[in-house]
Chain A
């Protein structure tokens, strides 16, 4: 029956994530992504799908940390790599697109420069050469007048355009794996489809595997052949997408399907989700002497001397 199974590009084995040494956020998650495949991770907010994506890149913020398991990327456990080797993989071989295009780009740098940086860092090009490549990259993601747009600042672009820029950055070095964390959640419905189409088109062309993280079953159904369902830190079900919709095995999946809005309309936007996580992290790092003073009433005041 089975022919030779192609080696996975990403193989997550029994991954555990927690605060300190307790794995209380992710309790042993395993899945495989084949080269060129688009794999979906679906679940409600807080199910652990986002931190799974972040941990693959090594972007978990303290106090969150991987507490067990392994992440094999091209048959190499990235958790065993040192910081520097891991950084080299990041952006070059594996890349990420985030949810909020509004805040995910540096407001003080032109988008051209932010794309060009990829070629400078990973390909050793000069800034002048990299700039030309950046314009090409913008063209690839179908940004009109790329030469002019490259000189724009993020705030001058629409949300959809910004997300295209993010995709251009992520795919600049033709990575083997793209992690897309709710790439369309913050966008207008009309723009969502275009951006998804763009990701599918480019990744198919380059043979890039995609880990698509989303709460939106519609998005997953459109993009993925296989899907994993996450609930409270566990992968409760993994199926072919079609089979999942027809014969969901796990009760949680059935509930998720039942709650699905019809005709592609979105229910609750999950905008708050990532920021929740960040606040948790920010809290532990926030200084006791920030010059801005936040009171329980949520007002801001500067404490000047």
Chain B
């Protein structure tokens, strides 16, 4: 098992390298450099000497390949470079944003799972019924909903009109602050989970071993609990994992809307300020999160399904 985890961990590296490469290439063709954006903000950096100095300080005078090499070398030592804006190491800028982001992703997923999975189950147990049609209409609506608009509506109703919950902001130990952004972010994974669960249950219910279980004279609850649920879980797990993994990236808009101090809002702010090292760092963190979660899903698979050989 340990070797399996190790091997999957090592598989992350090449993907990450290519991502770094793509991001690096994209940003090295940025027409407006950070320095010129400093000037446009009216700071006193018109002096050519100052510009040259800044370029040198951030290593921008070196050729692209050398810069890439330097960056990768730094990355190998967990050094993401220096922020143009704050002159701090990028990691110090990212690190405090990490936990709020993870917290939001997990809260959203929790909401999505406790609503979406049971909904899918109920719909599948009575295929073709009103409940089924209704649930599936709800699901496709959830997938079509612009989550930041939904967040805006939630904000209007529950914060501005009813005053039950704070409309934005973050407090480290407050559950109240996370509720609205988590629901807004969780709607689309919830809808997807409901659909996947429904399809999974229908698939499993038609499997031969469920007929065997019926022939054994099991009651319907026992059948679902003992034979259907676990097999469906295996199917649902992929969706769940993919969603958790991509949620940090999807959260950008919601974080911005609710002024949530996560990676997403950092990314947007850094893009606006052309703080390229931080943008690169944030993208790498988001991608790494996706890859790590996917690896964990694979490991969980191996733990649940005895058919998967762990070598």
List A residues at the B interface (Cβ < 8 Å).
Answer: 57, 59, 61, 87-92, 95-96, 98, 100, 103-109, 117-118, 121-122, 153, 155-156, 166, 169-170, 274, 278, 281-282, 285-292, 304-305
Contact = CB atoms under 8 A, between A and B. Distances in A.
A3 to B, nearest CB: 35
B136 interface: yes
Contact of B215 (A96, A107, A281, A286): A96
Contacts, number: 112
Interface size class of B (residues with CB under 8 A): 35 or more
Interface string B205-218: 11111011111111
B206 A281 contact: yes
Given A107-B307, A108-B305, A155-B306, A121 B217 contact: yes
Interface stretch (B6-14, B34-42, B192-200, B287-295): B192-200
A53 to B, nearest CB: 10
Nearest to B194: A289
B231 A108 contact: yes
A91 B136 contact: no
B306 A287 contact: no
Given A90-B214, A107-B307, A117-B226, 8 more contacts: A95-B215, A98-B208, A98-B211, A106-B227, A118-B216, A281-B206, A286-B202, A287-B136
Contacts of A92: 217
A291 B199 contact: yes
A106 B231 contact: yes
Contacts of A109: 226-227, 230
A271 B298 CA distance: 33
5 contacts: A121-B218, A278-B208, A289-B195, A290-B202, A291-B239
A117 B212 contact: no
Interface of B: 124, 127-128, 136, 139-140, 143, 188, 192, 195-196, 198-199, 202-203, 205-209, 211-219, 222, 226-227, 230-231, 234, 239, 242, 304-307
Q: Which 4 pairs of residues, A with B, have the shortest CB-CB distance? A: A91-B217, A90-B217, A103-B208, A290-B199
Nearest to B231: A108
Nearest to B197: A291
Contacts of B188: 305
A289 B212 contact: no
B59 to A, nearest CB: 39
B176 to A, nearest CB: 30
Given A100-B208, A282-B206, A108 B215 contact: no
Given A98-B211, A107-B209, A166-B212, A287 B217 contact: no
A117 B216 contact: yes
B203 to A, nearest CB: 8
A289 B202 contact: no
A287 B188 CA distance: 19
Nearest to A286: B202
A117 B214 CA distance: 12
Contacts of A100: 208
Contacts of B239: 291
